[in-house]
Each structure stands twice: as C-alpha cells, then as structure tokens.
Amino acid sequence: MDTRLIPELEAGMKRRIASLPERIRPYTREQNALPRAFMLTGPRGVGKTTFLLHHATGQELLYLSADNPLVAGEGLYDLGKTMFMAGYSGIIIDEVHFARDWSLHLKALHDDFPRHRIWVSDSSSLVLRSGVGDLSRRYVPLVMPLQSFREYLYIETGQEYTACDPFAEDVVLPVEPTPGLLAAFRLYRQRGTRPFSAEGAFDERLLAILDKTLYFDVPFFLPNVTDGNLRLMKAITGTLARSAIPRLQVRSLCADWGIGAEKLYRLLEVMESVGLLRIVRLVGDTKARSVGAKLLFSDPAFYEALHGNAGTAREALAASLCADSGWIVEAEPDERRGDFVVSRNDGTRFRSIRLEVGGGSKKSKGADRVIRDDIEYPAGNAVPFWLLGMGY
C-alpha cells in the first residue's frame, strides 16, 4: 500500500467522527472491554459504523471501509501492515466482504501482528462461517441487535432508563406508562427499530435497505443466484407482509418459480443471515432445512413500510424483542396453548416461558404470559407490550 493514502484515510475518519450523532445508542456505549480482534455483525442501518468510530475515538486506530475506491485494489494484509508500520496500534475494517480474499488476509493479520487490534464489521452472520481461515477461533463474534424501545427513548428524549426483565415475577417498572410514553411506543413500532429514525424518511430508507440487501448482499453469499431467484425473494417479502398466517408453502413456491427445494432453503437461510427474515422453528425442530413454523420479518418495521398485516407485525415485534434480549424464540407446537416458547439460561437457572401475543383483550389460553397490546401495567400474567421493549 502507498503510504500517501494514509492521510486521505485519516481525513475521512475524522470527517466521520465529526458527524457522529450527539446521542449514541446505549448498546454501543455500554460495550466497555472490547476484544483485541472481533467481528461485529448486524443488519444494515443499526449503527455498526457508529459503534466502531465511537470506540475508536481518541485511540491510535485507523478506519477504512473495504468498499472505498481508495483501497479497492489493495490487499487487506498490505493495508494493515502499512498502517501498523506507520505507528497505528490497530485497524478498523468496515464492510469487510467487499475485500478480495478477505478471510485469508484477516487470519494472517491476526496471527502476524498479535499486539495490534483488528476490528471488523459486516452485515451478515454468515461472514465468519464463510471464511476459510477459521476466523471464528480468532475473531470474537459480536452481534448488534435492532434498536430497543428503551434505546429509542434515549435517542428521542435524552432520558435513559434501566433495562428490565419484563417476565420477572416482581418486575419494577423502569418508567411510568404515561400517555406520552405509550404514544412514543406507537411511533417506535412504526419507525424506531433503527437509529436513523430521527433523520426522517424512515420508510423510504428502510425499503432502500431491503432492496440493497436483496440485490447486493444476498448474491455475495449465494453467487449463483439468478434474476428469477431475486424476483422470488422479492415476492416472498410481499407475501410475508400481507399474510395473516406467516408461512410459506415450499412445494407450490418451487413449482411456481422453477426452483429446487434445496435452493429455496438456501435462499431463506441467507435472507435470515442478512437480517431480513426470522425463521421461527417449532420447539425441538432440529432439521437442517426448514421454513419453520412461522416466517417473519426480522425487523417488524417492515410491516409498516409495506402496509402489512397488523397481527403478524405484532408477533414479529414480540419475537424480535425477545430474541434481542437474549431469549431463544421457538413456536409452540399446539397453537391452542400459545404462540411462542422463549427460553434462556440465566446462569443459575434455565427458564422456559410459553407466550401468547395479542391485543388488549387477548386471552392467555394455556400460556404462562400473555403479551397484550393497549394495556399500561402488568396484571396477573399479562405483560404490556411496551415493557417488552425495555428488556435491553
């Protein structure tokens, strides 16, 4: 690498840091002791670049994006070595999959420069698995979730509340559910899942992310994808938005679109890995290939942007908030008993909770907890929807 590029990269990094928002997501600020080498993944638009630049401020690290034309013809190993020889203690590589042979270069950088920090980001969780240099052993995986309601409140108002476990028996409300708070939750559901919500034109930007993810990210992880496959994925998003029963019929899709079942499953797997879909499997379902019991958008705001089904959006929101709070989300096999089963190990005990999701008059059926819309306070086994958004 020509060392004359370094001042250009330094200037670009300074411009980016100068334009960071005044209020940074609590998720970003609450990450303190970062590993020497890590790979940050998460859907587009959740704030991964802001995360990297925020933690690089005041440190001897140099940022670059692998899709920057200044470095398009350079190998990552040469880039990193040149920066380290110039005195930098670390390198930050955004959008790493744009770099040629990136996984081999990252392995070599990690092993040859054990005292230097290497921070990497990408939009798909498949990155570590697709790398050929055993990156998962060298780079600690960090996953950045969608923005919670708690974080949205901070971004909008500057007021920061403590996170809570909404399913705790003696849960203490982190904030009183005033009319203003409930109105804020309504807006959060529509346009609050990504931190650029305060910048306006949320739906347009979200749909642009949808298109870029389908037409740029998916083909990278599935190089033999065809135009017909791309149209099929677009059709799947439309079907899921409108469907009151979020399922896909594999046989009919394969027949209608002339695609094999194995290819369809692979498309769905990649769409899930880049943060478009959430495949909710039945409890105990360990099949390698499955469309799951329920197929939802990972980001419930897609339903609003696509004028989708309100009931399905409600289920998607519950699944998203539970999953990003650290729960494993599975579908209840007997729908008469509930919608989901969420479980996790809290260190001292394993918890499994059967959930029913619905409106303000929703009955609990056989569920342990019912997530009810349009109620303010927990009552009995009912949990208000807004409280679910305070879990992280």
Residue with tokens 């930007």: 205
**Do 136 and 129 touch, CB atoms closer than 8 A?**
yes
pLDDT, one tens digit per residue, over 61-108 is 999 999 999 888 889 999 999 999 999 999 999 999 889 889 899 999
- Domains contained in the chain, CATH given: 5-143 (3.40.50.300), 151-388 (no CATH)
DSSP 12-49: HHHHHHHTS-SS--HHHHT--S--SEEEEE--TTSSHH
- Encoded amino acid at 38, one letter: F
pLDDT band at 226 (very low <50, low <70, confident <90, very high): confident
- Edge-first strand order for the sheet with 328-331 is 328-331, 340-345, 350-358, 369-372, 382-384
- Give tens-digit pLDDT for 355-378: 999 876 656 678 999 999 889 999
For residues 357, 187, 310, 165, the Cα torsion angle rounded to the nearest 10 degrees is -10
CB 121 within 8 Å of CB 94: yes
- pTM score: 0.91
Predicted pLDDT at 72: 83
